[in-house]
Amino acid sequence: MMRRYFPLFLSVVLLAFLSSCSKAPKNTGGSGNVTGNQNGVDPPAGSNDGVTFINGGKSVIFNLYAPSKNSVAVIGEFNSWQPTAMKNSVDGTRWWVQIDNLDPAKEYAYQYLIDGYLKVADPYTHKVLDPSNDASIPSSVYPNLKSYPAGATGIVSTFWYSAPAYSWQVSNFKRPDPKNLVIYELLIRDFVGTHSYKTLTDTLNYIANLGCNAIELLPVNEFEGNDSWGYNSNFMFALDKYYGTPNDYKTFIDACHAKGIAVIQDIVLEDQFGSSPLVQMYWDAANNQPAANNPWLDQANMHPDAVGFQMNHQSSATRYFTENVMKYWMQEYHIDGYRFDESKGYTQVNSGNSEAAWAAYDDSRISLWETYNNYMKGIDPTFYTILEHFAVNQEEAVLASQGMMMWANLSGNAEQALMSYNDSGGPWDLTGLFYDSWGFNTATGNVCYFESHDQERLQFKNEQYANSNGSYNIKDLATGLRRCEMGAAFMFSSPGPKMLWQFGERGYDVSIDAGGRLGDKPPRWEYMSDPNRHHLYQIYSDMIRYKVNNPVFTTSTFTYNLRGAYKFIQLLGPDGTNVEVVGNFDVVPSSVTINFPATGTWYDNLNGTSINVTNAAYQTTLAPGEYHVYSNSPLKL
């Protein structure tokens, strides 16, 4: 079964139209031709990229990778923004200097001055100050934010030896097995009105009560502007201040772990935007593109969906930078996994404008992801690697066999099924819920979903476009929500990890395009006072808990037919528990035969009743939208 190619990268493509984004850099920079320096001096042993503290914070060593530059100096509050020349390493690739007589209690702002005129922030900084965006961050979200320094221009870096430390409370968190993983994807900006980690932490019980055991956050590293989905990355080691302080984020992760919830961080390392130092340091202003000698970036993008400037992952400099980014968030913030945006773009095979050529089997891309996955597993063997890949099934199967998880987008099929259409608008076939339909040999290879940040909301589609017959009208709110319940019953019954987008469990019906695709969306917490929406939440919660708590939902012994109006899933569990999921996706009644694996009492887990099956070929009539999750013994919540 081939994966369908949906407009999966609109979250990135539309970023080019945001007023807060700037693809092209504001600075321009030249480059020298230094390839080595016989009179150079290498950085002291133990000095890392960026800033290394020594002498109890009274001294720092600045260390910048910048090959082929003629001169580099550091400027900042410690030298009244007057250049302090940096020393060049013997191989000519690094520039470093030690600054003494610092106050360890003070937070200092600084930049690098390259070739006498180009000012850039440190690509390894953990915090930036932005004169265009910091003023709109309320003090309630980020208290005591350092003021932008007088006399500076552009984005500046900071360092602070005495930054408040965080004491981790949970040290023994055991990540959920990937086969039981249920991920709640959310955008902090739209999930809570304060757009803050603090409020998100206070709201965790909502997600915990739903039963999800993982949260996937849209990007939280520094991105251009404030009001964004976060895919316009510029500083990969800095936490974006729009959501709160580093300790607020750590508190949130700690609280998740205390509730048994893993934290997965969406991250963009396929490209960079114009305010990134990686772009600015080597820029061809005449042609408005990265310079030919840029260590990290391609001059031209290699695939049809690129928006930012593509990183060249065949470059050793890019691989070194990428692995440092991976390690930093893993170790500093104790996160549990990454979802890599546009992972198919990690290639130097130029596919031009062809989506099919881009998705074709790519040995070099496979090798690269094997290297990165092994690197992360070497740091933490249970760390999750999730790829938004959408390449041909054969390539994804190779990656899945090594423990990586592929995003499996079933939104179009699910929309058609819930609206009760199987026509030129698209098939209502849900076969893709099962990993074997993709040619995978492991249930953990696919993260299936009906909604994501990139897709239209199911209930919005129901209300606007759904089918009807007589008095049965899916556009009616209660009927549409009931269809969403049926969708949840099938999605969570199939083996393997699953994902839902925020508020799908309430039948969120504000279009993805309301106020602009990337515009703020209201959380609509008042939905929970609607009995029909609350019932949908309860069905989601029950199905998630059944999935997590009953081994039958991890079985490899199953039968299914998800192509017609009558859809069913049969699961035979290793502990003797068997499950039969049935549903009528038509708008008219359907006479069906349910082939139970055995006669006897079968429990209808979602309505608390049971049926007595005297003939394994059980004949019944299902009303439109009627669904059941039967089992031969009651399922455990």
Rounded Cα–Cα distance for residues 133 and 143 (Å): 15
Write out the residue limits of the CATH 2.60.40.10 domain(s) in the chain. Answer: 50-159
* Interval 193-201 mean pLDDT: 97
Residue 345's nearest CA partner among 322, 327, 378 is 322
Kindly calculate the radius of gyration of the chain based on its CA atoms and give it in whole angstroms.
27
Q: What is the pLDDT of residues 103-140, one digit of tens each?
A: 999 999 999 999 999 999 999 999 999 999 999 999 99
DSSP one-letter code for 366: H
* Identity of the amino acid at 632: N
- Encoding tokens for residue 459? 């209930």
pLDDT of residue 8: 35
Q: In the structure, what pLDDT confidence band is assigned to residue 38 with cuts at 50, 70 and 90?
A: confident
In which residue ranges of the chain is CATH 2.60.40.1180 found? 558-631
pLDDT tens figures, 405-444? 999 999 999 999 999 999 999 999 999 999 999 999 999 9
| DSSP structural state of residue 131 | T
Residue 21 pLDDT exceeds 70 = no
* CA-based end-to-end distance of the chain: 33
Chain region(s) in the chain for CATH 3.20.20.80: 179-270+311-409
More confident residue, 14 or 389: 389
pLDDT at position 16: 37
Burial state string for 188-197 with b = 16 or more CB within 10 A and e = fewer than 16: bbbbbebbbb
362-388, pLDDT tens digit by residue? 999 999 999 999 999 999 999 999 999
The 10s digit of each residue's pLDDT in 199-240 is: 999 999 999 999 999 999 999 999 999 999 999 999 999 999
CATH numeric code, 558-631:
2.60.40.1180
What pLDDT is attached to residue 299? 97
pLDDT of residue 26: 58
Q: With 70 as the cut, is the pLDDT of residue 360 above it?
A: yes
What pLDDT does 70 receive?
A: 97
CA distance 427 to 158: 53
| Region label for 68, one of left (φ > 0), alpha (ψ between -120 and 50) or beta (otherwise) | left
pLDDT in tens, 598-627: 999 999 999 999 999 999 999 999 999 999
Mean per-residue pLDDT over the chain, rounded: 94
Is residue 18 scored above 90 in pLDDT?
no
Distance between CA atoms of 12 and 3, rounded to whole angstroms?
20
Which helix (H) or strand (E) segment holds residue 567: the answer is: strand 566-572
Residue 23 pLDDT: 59
pLDDT for 35:
60
> pLDDT, tens digit, for every residue of 489-502?
999 999 999 999 99
Q: Are 359 and 391 contacting, i.e. CB atoms less than 8 angstroms apart? A: yes
Would you say residue 28 has pLDDT above 60?
A: no
Residue 581 — very low, low, confident or very high, per pLDDT cuts 50/70/90? very high
Nearest alpha-carbon partner for 160 in 128, 120, 138 = 128
Q: What is the pLDDT of residues 255-307, one digit of tens each?
A: 999 999 999 999 999 999 999 999 999 999 999 999 999 999 999 999 999 99
pLDDT at position 33 is 45
Per-residue burial over 236-273, b = 16 or more CB atoms within 10 Å of its CB, e = otherwise:
bbbbbbbbbbbebbbbbbbbbbeebbbbbbbbbbbbbb
* Share of residues in the chain with pLDDT > 90 (%): 94
Strand pairing partners for 426?
A: 423
Task: Report the top-level CATH class of 179-270+311-409.
Answer: alpha beta
Q: Please give the Cα distance from 262 to 173 (Å, whole number).
A: 9
Q: So what's the pLDDT on residue 74? A: 98
CB neighbours (10 Å) of residue 315? 17
pLDDT tens digits, one per residue of 299-355: 999 999 999 999 999 999 999 999 999 999 999 999 999 999 999 999 999 999 999
The CATH class of the 50-159 domain is mainly beta
User: What would the pLDDT profile of 53-101 be if each residue is shown by its tens digit?
Assistant: 999 999 999 999 999 999 999 999 999 999 999 999 999 999 999 999 9
> What local confidence, expressed as pLDDT, does residue 36 receive?
80
